[in-house]
Amino acid sequence: MSNEEGYVTADGRKIGGTLMEMKNITLRFGGVKAITDISFDIKEGEIRAIIGPNGAGKSSMLNVISGFYVPQEGEVWFKGAKRPPMKPYQVAQQGIARTFQNIALFEGMSVLDNVMTGRLNHMNAGMFQQAIWKGKAEREEVENREVVEKVIDFLEIQSIRKTPVARLPYGLKKRVELARALAAEPMLLLLDEPMAGMNVEEKEDMSRFILDVNDEFGTTIALIEHDMGVVMDLSDRVVVMDYGKKIGDGTPDEVRNNQDVIDAYLGVAHD
Amino acid sequence: MFYREAGDFKTSYVDDNQTFPIKFDRYRYYFVLFFAFLIVPVVINDYWVNAVFMPFLIYSIAAIGLNILVGYCGQVSLGTGGFMAVGAYACYKLMTSFPEVSIFFHVLLAGGVTALVGVAFGLPSLRIKGFYLAVATLAAQFFLVWLFNKVPWFYNHSASGQISAPERTVFGIAVTGPHTSAWATYLFCLVFVTICALLARNLTRGMQGRKWMAIRDMDIAAEIIGVDPLKSKLSAFAVSSFFIGVSGALFFSVYLGAVEVGEAFGINKSFLILFMVIIGGLGSIFGSFAGAAFLVLLPVLLKNVLVGMLGWPTDLAAHLEFMIVGAMIIIFLIAEPHGLAQLWRVAKEKLRLWPFPH
């Protein structure tokens, strides 16, 4: 499946060429190897899942992609160019947005302000212009508000627009966090357990949003998720990790029938 | 009844982004401006200016400055007194070196100089947070006061070690020095307060304010969506110090006229401004005004009530004043830890619905 060119998914969507490629990534914390020699790619327009048992290194992998961790070995290629070691905010400027396993919203701000923050890479009025307000700052503020309102519409959170985030229930917070990431209009969207702690209905909503985002905006999505049903339904290709190593890679069906993966999840008899 | 949002529809994002989106608020704001600029100067006298208005206005600027740093960006600072001293001494040096330039620009430039100093002392904030940062900024407080005492160049080698403001005029009217009139100094400060409050409001409602608040609320998430922590923390220090420098310059040149650095800009001042910000409400421009008003007006009010109306001896009243102010601070913080601004917000929310409960 990992041919350089794109492919066509089972449901008939065209997937483009490679957007991001991880080449032989190794990440160590002191003596502990979190990730060992992992390579995989993410193609334009696909939904790519990373799964694995607890402690497999999935979140570490996401943190490598978003620039929190710099791997000791290996290369990260983005849009056909090798990416030098970067700070997280520089990665964001390149067009990669993410959500967190534990919600990382700005609790003291309203929903609108939270989502507007996602637009910051699209606004470049200087501090003096903002202090004067009239002119460029106000114009940018309005233009970007329009984009943000589209995202708010899309995720159906109009009614809580002006509510302080701290007052929202968990499920809505997750949605606002997705809205903030989407507002950045990223090329690559990283979702760290978007359904964690949700009930079936909320999971269905979130799945629908993820599929819609991919479908309407053509956003490439990489997600970590523990709910196998969701993963198998949503994703085009799956990477399976265990103890920091890659043990499987392919379509959901291929992965499901992979003996290593079955062993990792169900355990294997030692005799 | 009076305070209604109903019928006040916004049809554009520009309308929705206004400083005062509710009509009543807007009219109240225009009324306050009108009152402050046109009515007060006519009826004001020396006592009111020196005891009430001037300290209130000048501390308001400092409180706005500190609020940007502590309330909006979440970086605790105890160096306010030191930064006010920088503003005062910068203003003094500018006034004596360039007497032909208007004092208006001296005050602004003094703010600029303070901004640079603030950025320098803000550098540790990139590595340390919370109480530890407070201790680091405490170093700025002590170092700056020591510096202005130690180096005679700063006070132009005057024998007393004090700096005193020469007479300067704006449009031919004296605003500093011994021959000032109450209304002129009041208006001069009021102009700066208005400008500073407007600038601060614009900065905090736009993207810069969001960046600061993002850093305050969760710095990791802020970085992941593209906030450069170095730039936004240092810009908070710069803007905050600019306002504090302006207030220090006004405090020295217009209000006191002559200062001795340890006395006027000691650690007490840092705490006073910090209390104003906390009592007024972190992360609110209105709160800065409310806090400054609370800590400036309450002692004056108590003194007038105790000495003027009840006829108690002044020394007894002075001691009681401390106790009452202290007790009220505690009561207020227990009743509303988010400050006077939050009380105000709650009151407004209630008023919007009144007389209906929901």
For B250-306, the pLDDT digits (tens) are 999 989 888 888 888 989 999 999 989 988 888 889 999 999 998 898 888 888 888
pLDDT at residue A123 tops 50: yes
- Predicted pLDDT of residue A2: 43
Structure tokens at A85: 């070691």
CATH among 1.20.1420.30, 1.10.10.10, 3.90.25.10, 3.40.50.300 for A96-185: 3.40.50.300
pLDDT at residue A218 tops 70: yes
The answer to whether A126 faces chain B, any CB pair under 8 Å, is no
CB A89 within 8 A of CB B227: yes
Homologous superfamily (CATH) for A1-87+188-271: P-loop containing nucleotide triphosphate hydrolases (3.40.50.300)
Pairwise CB contact (< 8 Å): B208 & A127? yes
B224: nearest CB among A88, A138, A145:
A88
Instruction: Show me where the domains of chain B are located.
Output: 1-34, 44-353
Which residues in A lie closer than 8 A to residue B223 (C-beta atoms)?
87-89, 92
pLDDT at residue B338 tops 70: yes
pLDDT at residue B336 tops 70: yes
Pairwise CB contact (< 8 Å): A106 & B235? no
- The angle at the Cα of A143, spanning A137 to A145, to the nearest 5 degrees, equals 100
- Predicted pLDDT of residue A112: 93
- Predicted pLDDT of residue B59: 95
* Burial (CB count <10 Å: 0-12, 13-18, 19+), residue A251: middle
Averaged pLDDT for residues B102-118: 93
CB A130 within 8 A of CB B206: yes
Q: Which residue has the tokens 């007479």?
A: B167
pLDDT at residue A262 tops 50: yes
The answer to whether A166 faces chain B, any CB pair under 8 Å, is no
CB B346 within 8 A of CB B287: no
A180: nearest CB among B206, B225, B228:
B225
Q: Which residue has the tokens 């497999």?
A: A56
Q: Do domains A1-87+188-271 and A96-185 have the same CATH topology?
A: yes
Pairwise CB contact (< 8 Å): B202 & A133? yes
For B15-65, the pLDDT digits (tens) are 777 777 777 778 888 888 888 888 888 888 888 888 889 999 999 999 999
pLDDT at residue A102 tops 90: no
CB A17 within 8 A of CB A207: no
A142: nearest CB among B14, B207, B220:
B14
Distance from the B48 Cα atom to the nearest Cα atom in chain A, whole angstroms: 32
- Predicted pLDDT of residue A1: 42
Distance of alpha carbon B268 from alpha carbon A108, whole angstroms: 30
Pairwise CB contact (< 8 Å): B203 & A106? no
> How large is the ipTM?
0.88
Which residues in A lie closer than 8 A to residue B222 (C-beta atoms)?
106, 117
CB B286 within 8 A of CB B338: no
Cα-to-chain-centroid distance, residue B54: 12
pLDDT at residue A265 tops 70: yes
Closest CA to B175 of B161, B163, B164, B165: B165
pLDDT at residue A117 tops 80: yes
Averaged pLDDT for residues B141-170: 87
- Predicted pLDDT of residue A271: 65
Closest CA to B137 of B85, B189, B81: B81
Averaged pLDDT for residues A48-54: 90
The answer to whether A86 faces chain B, any CB pair under 8 Å, is no
Q: For the CA atoms of chain B, what is the radius of gyration?
A: 21
Number of CB atoms found within 10 A of residue B319's CB: 10
* φ and ψ of A52, to 5 deg: 160, 160
Distance from the A243 Cα atom to the nearest Cα atom in chain B, whole angstroms: 26
Which residues in A lie closer than 8 A to residue B14 (C-beta atoms)?
138, 142
Q: What pLDDT band is residue A4 in, cutting at 50, 70 and 90?
A: low
Pairwise CB contact (< 8 Å): B223 & A88? yes
pLDDT at residue B240 tops 90: yes
Interface A:B, Cβ pairs < 8 A = 107
pLDDT at residue A254 tops 80: yes
Q: Say what percent of chain B tops pLDDT 90.
A: 36
Average pLDDT, chain B: 87
Distance of alpha carbon A66 from alpha carbon A183, whole angstroms: 17
CB B275 within 8 A of CB B298: no
CB B134 within 8 A of CB B80: no
Q: Which residue has the higher pLDDT, B317 or B116?
A: B116
Average pLDDT, chain A: 89
- CATH code of the region B44-353: 1.10.3470
pLDDT at residue A180 tops 70: yes
A137: nearest CB among B206, B216, B220:
B206
Number of CB atoms found within 10 A of residue B306's CB: 19
Pairwise CB contact (< 8 Å): B217 & A109? yes
Q: What pLDDT band is residue B5 in, cutting at 50, 70 and 90?
A: low
Residues in chain B: 358
Q: Which residue has the higher pLDDT, A8 or B358?
A: A8
Instruction: Show me where the domains of chain A are located.
Output: 1-87+188-271, 96-185
SS in 3 state form for chain A?
A: CCCCCCEECCCCCEECCEEEEEEEEEEEECCEEEEEEEEEEEECCCEEEEECCCCCCHHHHHHHHCCCCCCCEEEEEECCEECCCCCHHHHHHCCEEEECCCCCCCCCCEHHHHHHHCCHHHCCCCHHHHHHCCCHHHHHHHHHHHHHHHHHHHCCCHHHCCCEHHHCCHHHHHHHHHHHHHHCCCCEEEEECCCCCCCHHHHHHHHHHHHHHHHHHCCEEEEECCCHHHHHHHCCEEEEEECCEEEEEECHHHHHCCHHHHHHHHCCCCC
